[in-house]
Structure 1
């Protein structure tokens, strides 16, 4: 067993989870289950024990899914084994451990609301896991986002019981061995515990929240880079005029315009640009503002998901009710994830178009083509611009809405499904691709300064350029630039280069 320092990041479940909590859960976190949550959990568990004497409870007295009309196994622990065993059907590459750990935190947040009827030690086990580096190995494919993320969450629960595999301290081990290394005991479950662990959209919500965090970072970065580009080219900042954007009528454009005016404070136009810039510059407040408004909607969905309970059935002891329904249905997250993918694709398109403008001597104020220090003998950022085109194509290819792909399954008990899980995971992938496009544009701006662009006249732009110049040396002579793109992205996104896709 390895002895480690206690985690320094604290998450108190007395308040709803937020995306930054999920980001922090990539490493050890101290999750506090407040006494009120424990009291609610105790009461629901005691009520469940009474309810099982005289009424049917899905997953405790019955089979699962299409087999609900048949009796479940008599032994509660055997019922738990059966729940998890038949869901061990995931396929594909393993999910990022950070996504899996965020998923576990979301599941804990739902269960801690005290209406699922789990035994209190289940909350303790999830909290104990999150205080270590333990991360179950979870295959990517297997969830349709209805009846919860059954297959991937079964892999999480199985690893906590010592089945399958898990990562701990950066090593992949058999789950039972990983539990020992992390100082964790195998988790004991009954049928209700097992079903409650898998019967929620926690992976969908976690992936969507992480994707939202990533795209938000890129939106802020692109706002800053757009201002730097305007300054380097000597553009007139009237495109950010407050009266102009107020008449546009959209809140996001006003917010972004205000931010851009702050970043461009002190800018001096060169007087050499055309009266009206290309749309990738002139319409940037409107485009970035629309993205801001869309992310606000996605945030509302994530906030509701993190504050809600995703499970079936729910127990209400004071009303003497065991209620069977569909709170495991991930339709809101599916719609939000599809919207996020569309926003990501358009933000990526903007970054690529701005880079294309920057490398074109017909539009960049006479800078050398491809920002090459010696055109022909050197090629500047030509490879980066080419790769950026491929990245935009990837974002477009994956922006087809997943929430419209419903397919019936499970003997038509799940006759409509939201496909929120693939939608959310796809959006998380897209957020990573967008980070690379942000880094590509940032690298181009840094190179533009090397090959003759003017010194920025707005102090925020000058400070950003200096930070980029410190992190990335000029492309002179040519060299491979994939790591430079990542370093430039890190300056803006505060994401470690090795964490980028």
Structure 2
């Protein structure tokens, strides 16, 4: 199977095929004409001696500095070398593969003025497994992701560093090992490779996909806890959710009811209590609101992954070359700040359910801290500490990056998005939230054993069995770190 790029129709199903199934990627035949016409327009403007930013001028504050025709190609390679100064841990292979895919798709849109060979170079690296080493820190999120994308682009010209077959090596050696050759850049092409939002958007896409997978586990985990705490069923009934009319809230409530069908642990109003605490009763409202945020984030990401984010943009039909600001990452910065806040809340309410599971004053007759021998053994007491620590860390990480801006390039670039920082924070929030939810799942499974797992609903029993296949009942005090990590892998 092959995924074809045209700059217009990339979506998450295609991303999953490329990233997870490693399907081949190619340029759609219908897009090749747009790419060719856009390149011809660049050469026409250049031949006419017109002054165009980034083609025959310097960059940023140097935009008024004219570059001679003899130095136009040197200008492009100098751009990559000078801008490749990012620092920190490299982005994951998954994110770098996404960067290659997204940058190729943006160039395929036909407003960047590059030759087809440049796009083929990106896709060759993606298809052959040449993964540029891209440090994750150093982007302001406008003018795009300059520093990270410069590291990506250097490998295409046989410089920089790349990983090929799990071995890190010089970019040229990686290309040769994969049977590829470096390209030489012509006018506009270096700038077209780095002036975009693909580092933040790739990170954001990875964060969104992980968040959606976590949401699918969140309802299962909450349902198991709902049973373990003998939750009051009426709070999940459809009629109360219909009158609020948020579709995601009703969706979560319906999901919980399906999973809890047949449970012999569920209660009704007045059996044990009239109503539950909010961390149980309001699961549909909170999880539904989080799902609504993720749906909005998905919409924004699909727009951005099919956007032209270069500067300048080449409009061959009108003859216009426009120096605009599509590289500004504000839409992604907002989306990732919002996603980070939402997933922080997912962990927040999960930790509150952990507290109810372990606290003998709140867990409806279960042993204190789910201990087999309370007092002699501490049981799951400290797992709640760990969950609380991770939730607190997430509250710090959830502070929005998009409200910050530091001027750069001699104050020419005087407002930036910090969108890449927002996306990187969102990834860490998701990692933390997954571990909090793993603690909840462990505690809920322990509580199910103490009640009698045969009393569980069919679907929650299946989930319980999935956990027990990795982590047995905790009959004696032991280190639970490995158990938490194992359940986090399941989630």
Q: 1:369 to 1:20 in 2, by over 3 A?
A: farther
Q: Identify the match of residue 19 of structure 1 among 1, 8, 12.
A: 12
Verify the 8 A CA contact 1:337 1:423 in the aligned structure 2: yes
Deviation at 1:304, TM superposition (A): 0.7
Classify 1:191/1:49 alpha carbon distance in 2 versus 1 (closer, same or farther; 3 Å). closer
User: Retained in 1: the 8 A contact 2:132–2:152?
Assistant: yes
Give the number of aligned pairs. Answer: 484
Aligned to 1:467: 466
User: Structure 1 residues 480, 161: CA separation in 2 closer, same or farther (over 3 Å shift)?
Assistant: farther
Structure 2 unmatched ranges of 5 or more: none
Residue 49 (str. 1) matches residue 40 (str. 2): no
- Change in CA separation of 1:60 and 1:27 when aligned onto 2, cut-off 3 Å: farther
Partner of 1:109: 105
1:379-426 deviation per Cα after TM superposition (whole angstroms, max 9, x unaligned): 332332221111111111111111110121111111111111111111
Q: For 2:84, which of 64, 67, 88 is the aligned residue?
A: 88
Q: Give the superposition deviation at 1:195.
A: 0.5
- 1:1-26 residue CA offsets vs partner (Å, 9 max, x unmatched): xxxxxxxx642224622235445426
Q: Distance in 2 between matches of 1:480 and 1:50?
A: 69
Q: Is the 8 A contact 2:204 2:332 kept in 1?
A: yes
Matched residue, 1:458: 457
TM superposition shift of 1:457: 3.7
Say what the alpha-carbon RMSD is for the aligned residues.
1.8
Structure 1 partner of 2:479: 480
> How many angstroms apart in 1 are the aligned matches of 2:477 and 2:129?
41
CA–CA separation in structure 1 for the residues paired with 2:10 and 2:193:
18
Is 1:375 the equivalent of 2:374?
yes
Cα distance in 1 for partners of 2:475, 2:158 equals 54
What CA deviation, in whole Å up to 9, does each residue of 1:315-342 have, x standing for no partner?
1212222222111111111111111111
Asked if 1:319 corresponds to 2:314, the answer is: no
The answer to whether the aligner puts 1:33 opposite 2:27 as a matched pair is: yes
1:37-436 equivalences in 2 (<5 Å)? 37-54=31-48, 55-73=50-68, 74-268=70-264, 269-270=266-267, 273-436=272-435
Structure 1 residue 223: Cα displacement: 1.1
* Length-normalised TM-score, structure 2: 0.94
Structure 1 residues 425 and 456, CA, compared in 2 at 3 Å: closer, same or farther? farther
Q: How far apart, in 2, do the equivalents of 1:156 and 1:77 lie?
A: 19
d(CA) in 1 for partners of 2:12 and 2:438?
23
- Superimposed CA distance per residue, residues 106-148 of structure 1 (whole angstroms, 9 cap, x where no aligned partner): 1111011111011101111111111122211111221111111
**Helix, strand or coil: the match of 1:40?**
helix
- In the TM superposition, residue 376 of structure 1 has moved relative to its aligned partner by 3.3
**What SS class does the counterpart of residue 59 from structure 1 fall into?**
coil
Counterparts in 2 of 1:286 and 1:34: CA distance versus 1, 3 Å = same
Which string of whole-angstrom CA distances, capped at 9 and with x for unpartnered residues, describes residues 41-88 of structure 1? 111111211111222221111100110000135333312111112202
Q: Counterparts of 1:12 and 1:151 in 2: how far apart (Å)? A: 28
Deviates more, 1:304-313 or 1:25-34: 25-34
Q: In the alignment, is the contact (CA less than 8 A) between 2:224 and 2:441 conserved in 1? A: no
Are residues 383 and 177 of structure 1, via their aligned partners in 2, closer, same or farther at CA, if it must alter by over 3 Å? Answer: farther
- Secondary structure, in 3 states, of the residue corresponding to 2:136? strand
Q: Which sections of structure 1, spanning at least 5 residues, go unmatched?
A: 1-8, 493-501
Report the Cα distance in structure 1 between the residues aligned to 2:189 and 2:436, rounded to whole angstroms: 44
After TM superposition, the structure 1 stretch with the greater mean CA deviation from structure 2, 374-383 or 54-63, is 374-383
Q: What SS class does the counterpart of residue 166 from structure 1 fall into?
A: strand
Q: Is the 8 A contact 1:26 1:102 kept in 2?
A: no
Tell me the TM-score normalised to structure 1 length.
Answer: 0.92
Distance in 2 separating the partners of 1:476 and 1:10: 51
Change in CA separation of 1:72 and 1:479 when aligned onto 2, cut-off 3 Å: farther
Deviant stretches of 4+, over 6 Å: none
Structure 2 CA distance, aligned partners of 1:483 and 1:31? 38
Q: Does the 8 Å contact 2:228/2:451 carry over to 1?
A: no
Cα drift, residue 91 of structure 1: 1.6
